Structures are given as C-alpha cells and as structure tokens.
Structure 1
Amino acid sequence: MVASTQALSVQLPKTRVHTQGNNPTVLTDIFKDHVNMVVWRRELSADLLTAIDRYISENSGLNITKSVEAQSIETELEDVLSDAPFKAQLDEMIAEQVAMFACLFELKYIGLRLKVLEHAMCPRFHVDKVPCRLITTFSGPGTQWLAHDAVQREKLGGVSKHLSDEESGLYTDASHIKQLNTGDVALLKGELWEGNEGAGLVHRSPALAQNQRRLILTLDFG
C-alpha cells in the first residue's frame, strides 16, 4: 500500500506558486522548490519615472548587452547612460540588483541587458531556457505572466504557432493574465533550474501602444 502511494505521488503534476513582498529579502524564496517566481514590490519615484520617460523618448536606440563582473559593477556602468540626468540614481539601483543576484547565486559574472523597447520583444507566452532570470521595468508596462495552474503547457511554443495565445487554449480566461508593476524586481525560475523542468514561469512582453516605450533590465547567469 505504501509503495502504490509513493508511485502515485511521483505522477502528480507539479505545483508552483509565486511569492511577493516589499522587502528585497523576499527574493530568497526563489530557492523554495514550489516557487517559480518571486517579486520584490518596489515603487520608483514620480520624478525618476518622468526623467526616464523623457530620456528614452530621445534615446530609443539604447541597447546595452554585456557580461559584467559583479564586484566591479560600478566601473562597468561608468560609460552607461553617461548623458542621462538620472544616471547616478539608476546606476545605484542596477548595482544593487547585480549585487543581490550575484550573492543569491554565487556568481562572479552576470549577463546584463539594459534595453529600450518600442514593441513587444517576446509577444507570445513562453518559458526561458535558463536557470533563473531577474527582470525589472524602469519605464513602461511590466512583464505579463500566467500562474502555473492556469497554463495548458502543451499549447506553448510551436504547437500552436498558427494561433494567437488568446486562440490557442493556452489559458482559458483573460483574467488569468497577471502583470508586474513598473519598478518591481522579479526573479523568474526557468526550465534549466534543477527540478523545475516543465514548470518554468510562463510570461511574455506586454503589447505597447503607438509611441510607447519600455526600459527594461534583465540579469542572467554569466
């Protein structure tokens, strides 16, 4: 009887949830097996948001992708946004996030991307083939995502490529689509996290209105 119970438990679908909090210490929840996203709820000042919006409206080509050494992040950022009036404030936030990411996962090098988007970079729901990714939106709408139990995973990717996410049956109701706030710092557990195969967080870039832009930061294992 014990053996059959154990066999049944192996076949049960994985359960995954997200956690959130107003303190960066919540990010350590990413190490819990049943968690596939953690969100540090962080609000940016109105003055900073206005300054960033103005800057990216004039610098839509901003696209920085580089591998950075976590211990030298201040030096790595010296030539980034050198003409931006909010440089010092944004540099401080980026350096903080790099330091936290490096500390959490014991990384020396980190893949950093800071990019202005004028359209949805990944418009379809998908999972990342990475262990874990940090993402934050400094301007514009935040990343959209679906809870694990709201997804029909067999509809992901090429299986339904001729149908939109809305038509494919990937989710059953538009109310299932959740969205990060501007300023939130999120850790998204991917498919390459050991033990998380088939349970990576399903997410996509939000659609942008005409002339709308986003400024996003992502961090990956270097």
Structure 2
Amino acid sequence: MIAVTENRAIFEDIGVISPQVKASKHVEVLTDIYREDTNIAVWQRDITTELTLAVDEFLHTNQTKTTTFMATPENTYDLLCEKFGDSTAVKTLSKDVAVLVDMFCCLFELKEAGLRLTILEHAMCPRFHFDRIPCRLITTYRGVGTQWLPHDVVDRSKLGAGNQGKSDEESGLFNNLDDIKQLSQGDVALLKGEGWNEHEGAGLVHRSPAIAAGERRLIVTLDFVGD
C-alpha cells in the first residue's frame, strides 16, 4: 500500500466530501482514483472491432470458467497464451489484458497484480457489498457491466446482515432503482475499497448484475497482492 499513500501527494488537499464517480473517454481519468473525493474512476473506452471479434471467438472456443495467476506486465501475455492457446483471438485478447496489467501496476507502483479472468453465466456477487481491499480494476469484455451505488444514496447499515433477509431493492439500502448505476461493456473501472488508506466507511458499494439465460459474461479483475 506504499504507492497508495505516497502518490496521493500528487493532488491537493480538497477536504472531506462525499466520494463520487470520475468518468471520461480519456484514459488519464484513472489517475483520479487518488483524489479523496473519488471512490470510482471509469475510463469509458470503446472496444475495437478486432477485440470484439476476438472476445466472441474466445467465448465460443473456451469453457474454462476462471483463470487466476500473479500477473506482471512482462508475463501476462505469455501466460494467457500458454493457458488458452496461440490463436489470433487469444493473442488479441491477451495483448489487451497485458496492457491493463501494465497500466494497473504502473499507476500503483506494483511489481505484480492478482489477475482473475472469469466467464460467468450467472451473477458472481449478486448482493450489493463493498470490498476490504485498497482498489480493484474491473472490465467487462462481453456482457452486462458491474452495478454500483453512489456513496451519498447508500444506507450502509442495510449491508450484509443489516438487510434482515430482504432483497437489496426492499431493504432500504437505497431509495429507488434510479440510484443504481452501471458500467458499460468495455469500461475500465477502478473501484476503491475499504482498504484504501483512510477510506473506511466509503468503499464503493457494488454488485454483479443479473445475466440473462443463455448469455455469457467475460470479465477481468486486477487486485493488489501482499501488503
């Protein structure tokens, strides 16, 4: 977590205000995750036709549900090709994932990150929750994107056991369905967790979306590893 505390000095002290989203078509928006007023930063990128076709072929030819490994900017491409083969589709997808690993490690001054590539046919974490980690990168290559709630609309006492067995929609966790925000396919998002320095009580509340019958969702996440 050294990078999280040291790099924060990049920004001026802006005081304590309600964390919010920073979103842009420009990749530089991801650096806004260091701002105290931000708990989600979203690069709203457009996936190229080449990558879209590669993802379609990858999903058509692979059944492996989850692949995890310690990823570095140097080993990601080779490890993914070793796991899934050297087809043009695999190479195209692996190259893109390797770029994200490089960005994530550079942004947080990490030597490696915990990579998880997952094919989903149902919601992995269907209830709203927060993560006790510093920060997570998530992108959906195919399918519906992650859902999240703005910090100022969440009644955090309704999370976990506080929902008293009621659904997220019925528990009082948020006011109405319009409060639910959703990432788009292709978005690259950084989700600040409770483990971020001095961020307890403000980790982004999010959940996996429901997946329609017969649909498959391909996501990649990157996490901090170790201390």
TM over 0.5: yes
Within a 5 Å distance, the mapping from 1:73-92 to structure 2 comes to 73-82=76-85, 84-92=87-95
Q: Would the aligned equivalents of 1:125 and 1:202 in 2 still touch at CA under 8 Å?
A: yes
Q: Would the aligned equivalents of 2:135 and 2:190 in 1 still touch at CA under 8 Å?
A: yes
Change (3 A) 1:57 1:162: farther
In structure 1, what residue type is equivalent to 2:35?
K
Determine the structure 1 residue equivalent to 2:8: none
Output one character per residue of 1:169-212: Cα deviation in whole Å (capped at 9) or x when no partner: 00110011111000000000000001110000011000011111
Change (3 A) 1:107 1:166: same
Q: Which moved more, 1:89-98 or 1:64-73?
A: 64-73
Output one character per residue of 1:94-113: Cα deviation in whole Å (capped at 9) or x when no partner: 11110010011111121000
Q: Would the aligned equivalents of 2:158 and 2:173 in 1 still touch at CA under 8 Å?
A: yes
Q: How many residues align?
A: 211
Q: Is 1:137 the equivalent of 2:140?
A: yes
Percentage identity across paired residues of the two chains? 49
Look up the SS of the partner of 1:149 in the other structure.
helix
Determine the structure 2 residue equivalent to 1:202: 205
Pairwise CA distance, 1:156: 0.7
Output the TM-score relative to the length of structure 1.
0.88
Q: Would the aligned equivalents of 2:66 and 2:117 in 1 still touch at CA under 8 Å?
A: yes
Q: CA RMSD in A?
A: 1.9
In structure 2, what residue type is equivalent to 1:35?
T
Q: Which moved more, 1:68-77 or 1:161-170?
A: 68-77
Q: Is 1:20 the equivalent of 2:14?
A: no
Q: Would the aligned equivalents of 1:60 and 1:117 in 2 still touch at CA under 8 Å?
A: no
Determine the structure 2 residue equivalent to 1:5: none
Question: CA–CA distance in 2 between the matches of 1:217 and 1:161?
Answer: 32
Question: CA–CA distance in 1 between the matches of 2:31 and 2:102?
Answer: 14
Q: Would the aligned equivalents of 1:146 and 1:177 in 2 still touch at CA under 8 Å?
A: yes
Determine the structure 1 residue equivalent to 2:221: 218
Q: Would the aligned equivalents of 2:54 and 2:93 in 1 still touch at CA under 8 Å?
A: no
Q: Would the aligned equivalents of 2:40 and 2:190 in 1 still touch at CA under 8 Å?
A: yes
Question: CA–CA distance in 1 between the matches of 2:189 and 2:78?
Answer: 25
Structure 1 runs not aligned, ≥5 long: 1-12
Q: Would the aligned equivalents of 2:71 and 2:101 in 1 still touch at CA under 8 Å?
A: no
Pairwise CA distance, 1:77: 2.7
Change (3 A) 1:36 1:209: same
Q: Would the aligned equivalents of 1:63 and 1:113 in 2 still touch at CA under 8 Å?
A: yes
Q: Is 1:94 the equivalent of 2:97?
A: yes
Q: Would the aligned equivalents of 2:137 and 2:191 in 1 still touch at CA under 8 Å?
A: yes
Q: Would the aligned equivalents of 1:71 and 1:108 in 2 still touch at CA under 8 Å?
A: no
| Residue from 49, 53, 57 that aligns with 2:56 | 53
In structure 1, what residue type is equivalent to 2:64?
G
Question: CA–CA distance in 1 between the matches of 2:85 and 2:131?
Answer: 31
In structure 1, what residue type is equivalent to 2:182?
Q
In structure 2, what residue type is equivalent to 1:202?
V
In structure 2, what residue type is equivalent to 1:60?
Q
| Residue from 161, 169, 172 that aligns with 1:158 | 161
Pairwise CA distance, 1:43: 1.1
Determine the structure 2 residue equivalent to 1:29: 32
Determine the structure 2 residue equivalent to 1:4: none
| Residue from 57, 63, 68 that aligns with 2:66 | 63
Structure 2 runs not aligned, ≥5 long: 1-15
Change (3 A) 1:48 1:93: closer
Question: CA–CA distance in 2 between the matches of 1:205 and 1:165?
Answer: 12
Within a 5 Å distance, the mapping from 1:110-125 to structure 2 comes to 110-125=113-128
